[in-house]
Amino acid sequence: MSAEQQYIELYQETKGMLCRHSAQPLNALREQAFEDFKQLGFPTRKVERYKYTDVAEAFAPNYGLNLNRIAIPVNPYEVFKCDVPNLSTSLYFVVNDQFYDKALPSAQLPEGVIVGSLKDAADTHPELVKKYYGTLARTSKDAINALNTMLCQDGLFVYVPKNVIVERPIQIVNVLRSDVDLMVNRRVLIVLEQGASVKMLFCDHAIDDRNFLTTQVIETYVGENAHLELYELEETHVKNTRFSNMYADQQTYSTAVLDNITLHNGMTRNRTDLTLSGEYAETTLNGLVIADKEQQVDNNTLIDHKAAHCQSNQLYKYVLDDKARCAFAGRVLVREGAQQTTSQETNANLLGSKEARIYTQPMLEIYADDVKCSHGSTVGQLGEQAMFYMRQRGIPYDEARMLLKFAFAADVLQTIKLDALHDRLNYLVDKRFRGELSKCEGCKMCK
Amino acid sequence: MLEIKNLHASVNGKEILKGINLVINDGEVHAVMGTNGAGKSTLSNVIVGNPAYEVTEGEIIFNGKNILDMKPEERAQEGIFLSFQQPVEIPGVSMTNFMRAALNAKRKHQGLEPLPAGEFLKLMREKRKIVELDSKLANRSVNEGFSGGEKKRNEIFQMAMLEPTFSILDETDSGLDVDALRIVAEGFNKLRTPQTSAMVITTTSDCWTT
Ligand SMILES: Nc1ncnc2c1ncn2[C@@H]1O[C@H](COP(=O)(O)OP(=O)(O)OP(=O)(O)O)[C@@H](O)[C@H]1O
Ligand SMILES: [Mg+2]
C-alpha cells in the first residue's frame, strides 16, 4: 500500500466521525481537500519545495489517531509549573490538537480578544472563521495542506479585534501526549484586525516517549497597521516528526517578527510562506536550528513581495553536529510593481563534525527594477585558531566548542524582542549545547 | 621549572626545530632572539601544545612532568601561558565569559569552586588596571575590534588573571608605541615573582629587565 493510500482509506472510512467531532466551517473544506490530496499525493523530491525531505517515508508508518476526541487524562497546568522570572504570559495549552479549557489563566484578555479552540470558535463565530479559514493554505497547492485540511478537527484560534493591543504575551504550549504512537493534525488560525497588536510564543513539546507525527497548518492574517510577534520554539524528542506549514499575509503598514527555533527534535519540516500584500509592510523572519545525533530539520521559506515599499529581513542560522542532516531553502520573490523593496536574506551554518550536512539554497527572484536586495549563505567549521586560543587559556575542548557554537547562535537570539524570552532562550540554548536538553522533560520554558 | 631536551618539531611535514635544548629555572626570565622565520613561534606553540605542530623527537619536562602527552588545556591549567604573537579574535564570545571559563577551569583543576560572580568581576577590574585596559574592551568580544596595542595589553591582562607560573611572551613588545610598551613591560614585571619564570621572545630585549 502506498503511503497515500492509508490516508485515503482512513478518510473514506472515518469521514462521518471526523465531521461529527468538528465544526461546519472546517467540514466544508474537507471534501475538496480530499480530492486535492488524491490528486497531489505526497510530494517526491522532484517537487522543488520538497527536495530535501522524504515525505512519503515520514508518513508511511501507521500511527493511531484520536478522531473520536477521547479526552486525554492530563492537567497541563499541573504538569507545567511556570516560574519563568519576568516572563509573565497568558499561558494556554493545546494537548495534541485539543485546546485545554478546563482551567484557564486568571489574567483577563482585552475585550473582544479570543484565544481558544478553533472548533469552538467555528461554532460560536462561524462567519469569522469562514472568512479566513483555508484561504491562505490552499489545498490544491500543497499535499500537507490538503492532508491537514482533510483530517484536522480542532486546534487554536486567536483573534484580536481592531485597534486592540494585547500587552501581555500569549504563550501557547503545544503538548504531545499519548500512550500509543499518535498522529496529530493541528490547525491554527490567527487574525489581527486593523491596528491590532499581539506577541505570541508557541512552544512545542512531546511529553511521552512515543512516536509522534504532527501536521500543523498555521494561517495568519496581519491587518493594516497591525503588529505581530510570533516566536515558535520546538523542543521535542528524537521520535517526533513534524510537518508545519505557516502562512502569513501582511497588509499595509503592518509589521511582523517571526522566529522559528528548533532546539531539539526528531525530523522537522517547516514551510513558511509570507506575503507582503500591502505597501510599507515590514517583515522579519529568523530561524535558529540546533541539531545533532541524526536529527533532521528542513526549513523552506518564501517571502513574496507583492506590494511596493516593503521590507523583509531574513536570517537563518544552523549549528549542526554529529550526523545531523539539515536544509535551508529560502526564496525571495519581488514581483513586478513591488518597487522600492528592501530585502535581505542570510543563511549561515556552522558544522561541528565531518558527517553533519547542510543543504543551503538562498534564492532571489526580482521582477522590479528599483529594489535593494541581497542574499547569501555561508558554511563554516569551528575555527581552529579560536579553539586553540581558548584551550591555551585552560578552557577544555568541549567547553570551547560550546562557547563558539553559542557565539554563532547569539545573533539570532538577539533579534528576540521579548527580553525575558531572550534571557530564557539564552539559558536554554546554553543547556542544549551542554547536552542537558537531549530529551523533552516538559516545558523547559516553564521550569 | 622547564627543561627542553633535544626537541625536534615539524609543521606540515617540514622540520622547523632541529634539536633544541633549554633549561629555565624558577624565577628566571630568558630572552629569545632570532631572525624572522627562525622558529621562535614554533617553539612557543610546541610548548603549549598547538595540535598544528608535530613533535618528532625530544622531551619537554615541566615541573617534573613530561607534558608532551598533555592536551593544551591541561598544560594551561598546570600553569603555562602563551602571550600570542597574533592574538585571535573570537566574535560573539565576550571577554567576560571567556575569562570566566578560563579561570574556573583552572580553579577546578586546583580543586577549587568557581569564583562567585561578584568576586570575579572585582578581580577583572583589579587586573585590568595593571595594563590600563579600558573597561569597554572587557565588555566586547574577545579581541574583536581591538587595536594591535590593545590586543597585546589584553594578553598581559589575561596573564594577570590566570597567574601562570611559566609564561611565554611571543613578541608581545612588537608593534607597540613607547607608552604601550612601557605599560606592557611594567605590567609584566609587576606579575613576576621568585616562583615564576618566563621566556620572552623579543626584538628589543632591554625593556624587559628592570
Ligand atoms: N602553521 C604553519 N604552517 C606552515 N608553515 C609554518 C607554520 N608555522 C610556521 N611555519 C613555518 O615555520 C618556519 C618558522 O616559523 P615561525 O613562525 O616559528 O618563525 P618565527 O621565528 O616566529 O618568525 P617571526 O620572527 O617572523 O615571528 C617558517 O618558515 C614558517 O613559514
Ligand atoms: Mg614568530
In this structure, are residues A248 and A135 in contact, taking their beta carbons and an 8 Å threshold? no
pLDDT tier for residue A447 given thresholds of 50, 70 and 90: very low
Q: How far is A55 from A142, CA to CA, in rounded Å?
A: 12
B151 CA to chain A: closest CA distance, Å?
Answer: 13
Give percent above pLDDT 70 in chain A.
94
CA of B85 to the centre of ligand 2 (A): 6
Tell me how far apart the alpha carbons of residues A259 and A242 are, in angstroms, rounded to a whole number: 17
Per-residue pLDDT band at A446 (split at 50, 70, 90) = very low
> Over the Cα atoms of chain B, what is R_g?
17
Residue A439 C-alpha, separation from nearest chain B C-alpha, in angstroms = 26
Please tell me the predicted confidence (pLDDT) of residue A435: 79
- Per the model's pLDDT, the better-predicted residue between A329 and A416 turns out to be A329
Weakest-pLDDT range from A78-87, A158-167, A351-360: A78-87
Nearest-ligand number for the alpha carbon of B35: 1
Answer whether A393 sits within 8 Å of B98, measured CB to CB.
Answer: yes
What does the pLDDT read at residue A106?
Answer: 67
The answer to whether residue A427 neighbours chain B at the CB level (below 8 Å) is no
Which is higher by pLDDT, A242 or B136?
Answer: A242
Distant-in-sequence, close-in-space partners of A265: CB < 8 Å, separation ≥ 6: A234, A235, A236, A237, A238, A240, A242, A291, A295, A297
> What are the residue ranges spanned by the domains of chain B?
2-209
Contacts of A394 in chain B (CB under 8 A): 73, 76-77, 102, 105-106, 109, 162
Residue A431 confidence (pLDDT): 86
C-alpha of residue B200 to centroid of ligand 1, in Å: 17
Alpha-carbon gap, residue A232 to A261, rounded angstroms: 6
- Residue A377: pLDDT band with limits 50, 70, 90: very high
Q: Tell me whether residues A396 and B51 touch, CB distance under 8 A.
A: no
- Across the range A313-335, mean pLDDT stands at 97
Report pLDDT for A441: 45
Residue located via cell numbers 462561524: A126
Whether residue B107 lies within 8 A of chain A, CB to CB, comes out as no
pLDDT given for residue A68 in this prediction: 80
Instruction: Tell if the CB–CB gap between A392 and B76 is shorter than 8 Å.
Output: yes
Ligand nearest to the CA of B84: 2
More confident residue, A240 or A208: A240
* CA-based nearest distance A405→chain B, Å: 9
Closest partner CB to A392 (pick from B82, B89, B106): B82
pLDDT band at A443 (very low <50, low <70, confident <90, very high): very low
Task: Write down the CATH superfamily of domain B2-209.
Answer: P-loop containing nucleotide triphosphate hydrolases (3.40.50.300)
Interface A:B, Cβ pairs < 8 A: 80
Q: Which of A395, A407, A408 sits opposite B105 (nearest CB)?
A: A395
Question: Which atom of ligand 1 approaches the CA of B52 most closely?
Answer: 1
- Along chain B (210 residues), what's the average pLDDT of each consecutive run of 10 residues? 96 93 95 90 97 95 95 97 96 94 97 96 93 85 92 95 96 87 90 94 64
Which candidate from B77, B84, B141 shows the least CB-CB separation from A394?
B77
Q: What is the 3-state secondary structure (H, E, C) of chain A?
A: CCHHHHHHHHHHHHHHHHHHCCCHHHHCCHHHHHHHHHHHCCCCCCCHHHCCCCHHHHHCCCCECCCCCCCCCCCHHHHCCCCCCCCCCEEEEEECCEECCCCCCCCCCCCCCEEEEHHHHHHHCHHHHHHHCCCCCCCCCCHHHHHHHHHCCEEEEEEECCCCECCCCEEEEEEECCCCCEEEEEEEEEEECCCCEEEEEEEEEECCCCCEEEEEEEEEEECCCCEEEEEEEEECCCCEEEEEEEEEEECCCCEEEEEEEEEECCEEEEEEEEEECCCCCEEEEEEEEEECCCCEEEEEEEEEECCCCCEEEEEEEEEECCCCEEEEEEEEEECCCCCCCEEEEEEEEEECCCCCEEEEEEEEEECCCCCEEEEEEEEEECCHHHHHHHHHCCCCHHHHHHHHHHHHHHHHHCCCCCHHHHHHHHHHHHHHHCCCCCCCCCCHHHC
CA B139, B143, B148, B149 dihedral sign is: positive
Residue A434: per-residue pLDDT: 84
